[in-house]
Amino acid sequence: MKLLRFGAPGAEKPGMLDKDGTIRDLSGVIADFTPETLAAGAIETVAGIDPSSLPAVEAGVRIGPILKRVGNFIAIGLNYVDHAHETGSPIPAEPIIFNKAPNCLHGPYDTVVIPKGSAKTDWEVELAVVIGKPASYVAAHEALDYVAGYAVCNDVSERHFQTERGGQWTKGKGCPTFGPLGPWLVTRDEIADVQNLDMYLDVDGVRCQTGNTKTMIFDVAQLVSYTSHFMRLDPGDVITTGTPPGVGMGMKPPRYLKGGEVVKLGIAGLGDQQQNFVAYSG
């Protein structure tokens, strides 16, 4: 299934995409897609529904983030060999874990605001994993059983905040609007091999990132398992799993977003996003 949320910001309703690409309204079946409804079996509830039995939604409606909110918004750094090389970083011996602020969650087509004082705002196409049930000390061979589904994430990053302002990477990762997630939550059963998905990102129509999840250093199962040994993962938690090469900081000379750019990105089977970037205006 391809599950989504549609409507004005703050008033989104849950929906499902049918085989013809029409959004179907699920609000008569479940209240929303939240950590609580996922824990209560929302995906199982809607799995047996014939989409044609649901009201069709008018084309062109705004698509919101796939969840009303997230608990943990966890990110993995330097998880593609070529990306580590382009940033001049060593290949990690273990996954690098950091956090994005949960309230940076953002719609996949909504405007992204470059933060006040930004000098180096950057882009990152990433595969995001949505947790479906509590996971603690999970073995890698069982880890995918705890996954509800997958989505596209743009792990928008401010590199000056991230690497030059002291402390941990979180400073450059959680600014408002820095977490576009969607357009769909694609349930795990629809993805035959999560470790073989093509990825891309364009800036103003120019291809910057081309990659495939098969080149991850640590695969999805390893990441879910590893993270679950340091914290309990709950339904509605998100792990965004790293980016392939082609980010702005890796270019020679580096290229960063100043405002006025259009960024488009996508992952095979998981859909596409597009954001206009604008400069902070107070």
Which token pair is 119?
A: 């000098």
In the predicted model, what is the mean pLDDT of the chain?
Answer: 96
Are 151 and 181 within 8 A, CB to CB?
yes
85 — pLDDT class (breaks 50, 70, 90):
confident
Q: What does pTM read for this prediction?
A: 0.96
Q: Which residue has the higher pLDDT, 89 or 205?
A: 205
Query: Checking phi first, is residue 64 left (phi over 0); if not, alpha (psi -120 to 50) or beta?
Result: beta
pLDDT at 103: 98
Residue 167 pLDDT more than 80? no
CATH architecture under which domain 73-279 falls: Alpha-Beta Complex (3.90)
Which residue from 157, 159, 174, 169 is spatially nearest to 70, judged by alpha carbons?
A: 174
pLDDT tens for each residue of 135-152: 999 999 999 999 999 999
Alpha-carbon gap, residue 74 to 237, rounded angstroms: 8
CATH 3.90.850.10 domain span(s) along the chain: 73-279
Alpha-carbon gap, residue 27 to 55, rounded angstroms: 10
3 state SS of 194:
coil
Give a three-class secondary structure readout of 10-59. Answer: CCCEEEEECCCCCEEECCCCCCCCCHHHHHCCHHHHHHCCCHHHCCECCC
3 state SS of 221:
helix
Task: Give the residue ranges of DSSP H helices in the chain.
Answer: 35-39, 42-47, 81-86, 159-164, 220-228
pLDDT tens for each residue of 9-43: 999 999 999 999 999 999 999 999 999 999 999 99
Residue 82 pLDDT more than 90? no
pLDDT at 89: 84
What letter represents residue 137's amino acid? Answer: Y
